[in-house]
């Protein structure tokens, strides 16, 4: 049986103080942080999120709000594993990991089961509990 994960993408804090979930997807296998978490971090590398585009920008690196980032992330994950978009708020009793993706103060944040890691501090082994504390 695979290691299941749900990933929820939240709106930018600068646009929504409550950071509501705008979309989520379910990954059927390899959902542990040393795989799925690293896939998320890899997709975030070199990207920024804005509220609107100004001028000629590289749309592979500058995302217009978190919805645009969500499309990039879901495609990135789709190329690596079986995953599907689902209704926000969907619950899974058999889910091994829950990831929440935020963009705050011009930085991505990955939360794994409620523990937050800014992208520049991402440590998959620590998030997975492989590393001794």
Cα Rg of the chain (Å, integer):
14
Bridge partners (DSSP) of residue 112 are: 99, 115
Cα–Cα dist 11/22, whole Å: 6
- Tokens 């645009």 locate to 68
Cα–Cα dist 33/118, whole Å: 14
Bridge partners (DSSP) of residue 118 are: 109
Tell me whether residue 133 is in a domain: no
Tell me whether residue 106 is in a domain: yes
What tens-digit pLDDT sequence spans the chain (133 residues)? 689 999 999 999 999 999 999 999 999 999 999 999 999 999 999 999 999 987 889 989 999 999 999 999 999 998 998 888 998 988 887 899 999 999 999 999 999 999 999 999 999 999 998 655 4
pTM of the model: 0.92
- Number of domains the chain contains: 1
Tell me whether residue 67 is in a domain: yes
Furthest-apart CA pair in the chain: how many Å? Answer: 48
Residue range(s) defining the domain that contains residue 47: 5-128
């Amino acid at each position: 049986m695979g290691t299941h994960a749900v990933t929820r993408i939240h709106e930018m804090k600068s646009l929504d103080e409550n950071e509501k979930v705008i979309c989520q997807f379910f990954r059927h296998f390899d959902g542990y942080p040393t795989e799925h978490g690293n896939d998320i971090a890899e997709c975030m590398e070199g990207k920024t999120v804005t509220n609107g585009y100004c001028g000629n920008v590289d749309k592979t690196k500058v995302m217009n709000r978190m919805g645009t980032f969500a499309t990039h992330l879901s495609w990135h994950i789709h190329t690596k594993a079986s995953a599907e978009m689902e209704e926000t708020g969907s619950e899974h009793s058999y889910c091994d990991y829950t990831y929440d993706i935020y963009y705050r103060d011009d930085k991505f944040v990955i939360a794994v089961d409620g523990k937050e890691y800014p992208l520049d501090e991402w440590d998959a082994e620590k998030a997975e509990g492989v590393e001794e504390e």
